[in-house]
Every structure is written in structure tokens, then in C-alpha cells.
């Protein structure tokens, strides 16, 4: 795949009024989601649930791409149509989560580093043959009294850069995700400092690894108060701080930035994105790559009655996509 192809795919991922749906939960994570609505975690139930999401009528109106898990990329509808074909016909770009999860960082108790570089070149080649056009790798940066250390930040950003280089070698657009966790009692100012340091390290590492930024997407966390912070920042403050942090760290050549919801409520995730776009114009499109904030309401409906509530669950998915698509334009009215 040429440099121009990577650019065009990246630009399509952040097309005006569109964003990414993340349905890349690992088998253990999807187990928790399914069990929360009293659905047994079987391969068929996982397949059926993701079919419900991906076959939502008119999903492509506001969804440009979907991040899948290894199992899902290989699955088909109950009628035998591969999910990747369903997505292509709806104008949705198939993506794939390729990291192997965050593991303890040796020598730094409580800190994590994402693994999965071993054998990644071969896995990416296979995923490209299966129809994936972009990939995602998530790093986890926690905030505590003594963390994150510079070592933790640098180790994760180095891994993100190596992953991105392998993606572009394989013809896939890398989505780089350095998530600064909301967990903790830190205030928005500390979150800003950690996010700024992380992004500076990330783009330094991408530069050192000869990454073509025009064919790369950043999946960012918002600058926000920790969940247990007594003083929760307002939506306006979150939007202002996040945009300011991004403008000080992210090169304008990047095609776009999509946000993770990171445990926010559905409404907060949409409202924060909308508020950021109302502060525009920005050097890059600001859109969404939401998982729980796109799925929660639909999962509950589907779990109550998989057949009887099928259409209602899909209607909820379509509504959440529309709301977030409007927020990506700064036009959501709440």
C-alpha cells in the first residue's frame, strides 16, 4: 500500500461528522459486559451481539470505522456473510486491536507497559489479508502519588512507535492510544501535566521511528478530573484544557484525533466532544472512538431480550452514533 493510500484511509476515518465505534473487547472483558446483562459468555453470543452492532441500519452515516477483536475480524453474520464485507458495504473501515494488554512494568510497582510486539509483523500481514485497514494499540498511563514515572511513559511511547512503524510497513494506518486513566483523585491540572508529558514523549518517539504522521491517527484521552477528585472540572474546563494540551503537543500534519470515553457517562463523553468542537476551528478534526459510550444502552436492551429487543437495540446504537457525529461537528444540542 502506498503512502497516499495510508493518507486517504486516515482522512476517511475522521471524515466530517463521523467517528469510530470500538468493539474490540478481549474475551475476558466482553465476559464482564455480557454477564452484567445476564448473558452467558459463549462464542455464539459474542458473535450475535457484534452482528447486532455492525448490521445496525444506516450505521455508516455517522460511523467511519470499527475496531474489532481478533475473533470478530474472522466472524460472519448468521447468514454467513463475513463481518468485513458487511462493513465495507456500509462504508465502514475495518480495524483491529493488536496489542496483548498492559502488564506490570518490572522495577516500577503499580505501573504498566503494553506488550505484543513479538510476532506483530506476521499478525499484521494476516490481518491485512483478512481485510483490516487500520490497527490500534493502547498504552495505559496511571496517575498516583508516585506515578507515572518518566520510564513508564517512555517505555509505552517507544512501544507505540515500534507498533506504528510495523503497521505502516504492512500498509495499515496505526491508531496510537496513550490513555491517561481517569482512575484516582487527581485534579484536572495534574491530568494536564501528565497528558502533556505523555504526548510530547509519544510524538518524539514517532519522529525517531520515521512514522509518517499523515497516515496516523491519535486516539487520545481527555484532560479531565480523576473519578475520585472532590472538585470535578466543568465540561467547559475539560474542553478548554484538552484543546490547549493538544495544540501544545500534537503536530498539525496529523489527519485527526479521536477520543476514548474512558469511563465517562454517555452524555458527558458526547458533551465534552461537542464543547471542544465549539471552540474550533482546530488544526485537525476532533472526533470519537467510543466503546462503552456507544454500546451500554444497546447492550442492556439486547441482553433483556436478544430477539425481541433487536431492533430497539440497533435504534439505540444509531442514535448514539448520530449524537456523537453531531458532537464531532460541534452541533449537538443535548
Q: Which residues are catalytic?
A: 177, 219
Q: Where are the beta strands (DSSP E) in 4-100?
A: 19-23, 63-68, 93-97
Contact residues for 257 (Cβ-Cβ < 8 A; gap 6+): 14, 217, 218, 219, 220, 246, 250, 284, 285, 286, 287
CA dihedral sign of residues 63, 65, 71, 74: positive
Choose among 314, 284, 282: nearest CA to 297.
Answer: 314
Choose among 239, 148, 228: nearest CA to 194.
Answer: 148
Choose among 331, 292, 303: nearest CA to 46.
Answer: 303
What is the CB neighbour count within 10 angstroms for residue 334?
9
How far apart, in whole angstroms, are the C-alpha atoms of residue 192 and residue 129? Answer: 40
Look up residue 78 and give its DSSP letter.
T
Amino acid at each position: 500500500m502506498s503512502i497516499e493510500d495510508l493518507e486517504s484511509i486516515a482522512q476517511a476515518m475522521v471524515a466530517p461528522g463521523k467517528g469510530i465505534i470500538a468493539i474490540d473487547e478481549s474475551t475476558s472483558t466482553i465476559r464482564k459486559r455480557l454477564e452484567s446483562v445476564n448473558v452467558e459468555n459463549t462464542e455464539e453470543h459474542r458473535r450475535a451481539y457484534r452482528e447486532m452492532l455492525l448490521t445496525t441500519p444506516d450505521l455508516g452515516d455517522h460511523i467511519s470505522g470499527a475496531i474489532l477483536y481478533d475473533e470478530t475480524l474472522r466472524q460472519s453474520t448468521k447468514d454467513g456473510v463475513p463481518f468485513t464485507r458487511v462493513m465495507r458495504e456500509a462504508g465502514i473501515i475495518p480495524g483491529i486491536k493488536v496489542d496483548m494488554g498492559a502488564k506490570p512494568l518490572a522495577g516500577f510497582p503499580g505501573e504498566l507497559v503494553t506488550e505484543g510486539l513479538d510476532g506483530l509483523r506476521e499478525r499484521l500481514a494476516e490481518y491485512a489479508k483478512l481485510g483490516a485497514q487500520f490497527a490500534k494499540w493502547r498504552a495505559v498511563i496511571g496517575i498516583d502519588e508516585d506515578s507515572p514515572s518518566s520510564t513508564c511513559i517512555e517505555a509505552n511511547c517507544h512501544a507505540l512507535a515500534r507498533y506504528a512503524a510495523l503497521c505502516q510497513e504492512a500498509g495499515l494506518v496505526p491508531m496510537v492510544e496513550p490513555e491517561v486513566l481517569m482512575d484516582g483523585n487527581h485534579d484536572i491540572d495534574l491530568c494536564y501535566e501528565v497528558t502533556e508529558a505523555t504526548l510530547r514523549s509519544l510524538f518524539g518517539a514517532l519522529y525517531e521511528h520515521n512514522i509518517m504522521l499523515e497516515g496516523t491517527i491519535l486516539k487520545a484521552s481527555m484532560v479531565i478530573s480523576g473519578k475520585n477528585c472532590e472538585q470535578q472540572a466543568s465540561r467547559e474546563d475539560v474542553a478548554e484544557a484538552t484543546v490547549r494540551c493538544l495544540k501544545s503537543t500534537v503536530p498539525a500534519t496529523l489527519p485527526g484525533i479521536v477520543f476514548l470515553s474512558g469511563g465517562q457517562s454517555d452524555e458527558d463523553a458526547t458533551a465534552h466532544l461537542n464543547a471542544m468542537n465549539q471552540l474550533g476551528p482546530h488544526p485537525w478534526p476532533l472526533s470519537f472512538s467510543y466503546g462503552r459510550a456507544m454500546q451500554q444502552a444497546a447492550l442492556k436492551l439486547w441482553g433483556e431480550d436478544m430477539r425481541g429487543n433487536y431492533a430497539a437495540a440497533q435504534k439505540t446504537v444509531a442514535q448514539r452514533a448520530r449524537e456523537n457525529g453531531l458532537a464531532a461537528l460541534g452541533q449537538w444540542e443535548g
